[in-house]
Amino acid sequence: MKKIILGMSLLLMGISTQAQTVQKSKNAKISFEVDGICGMCKKRIETAALKTKGVKFALWNVKTHQLSLILDEHKTTVTTVQRNILKVGHDVIGVKATDEAYNSVHPCCKYRDDEIVMDHEGGVVKQQKKD
């Protein structure tokens, strides 16, 4: 009798433990912040994300800096996608890309430079040459 009770309790614990495992989705919708300032940044960020095996959709919003993804969690992780974006020179959720990667982006894409950011936002008025 004790063996039966012990066996049943072990079986129930196994079932409850298995039920608590995280379910991976084939179409997980994820969103996180990526730094950038222009259309060239958009193309670079989306391309880096889409080249990651398992990413089905990637859309980066220039104004909000939010990258929206649909990915297969059986094939990749969010961390892998973020690592690939860092490699092309864009900061992800407060994690800075290496200086080497950041310096590889086009000069107009230097999102850490306040003057360039203001220029993209129309905040810097270019002075006209006076004769």
Mean pLDDT by 10-residue block, N- to C-terminus, for the chain (131 residues)?
A: 61 53 82 95 97 97 96 95 97 94 94 89 48 43
Q: What is the pLDDT of residue 44?
A: 97
- At residue 55, the pLDDT reads 97
Would the pTM count as exceeding 0.85? Answer: no
Query: Looking at residue 125, what is its pLDDT?
Result: 43
pLDDT score recorded for residue 103: 95
The Cα 19–Cα 87 span in angstroms is 37
- d(CA 123, CA 103) in angstroms, rounded, equals 24
At 68 the pLDDT is 97
* Domain covering 28-121, topology: Alpha-Beta Plaits (3.30.70)
Which residues fall within 8 angstroms of residue 119, CB to CB, at 6 or more apart? none
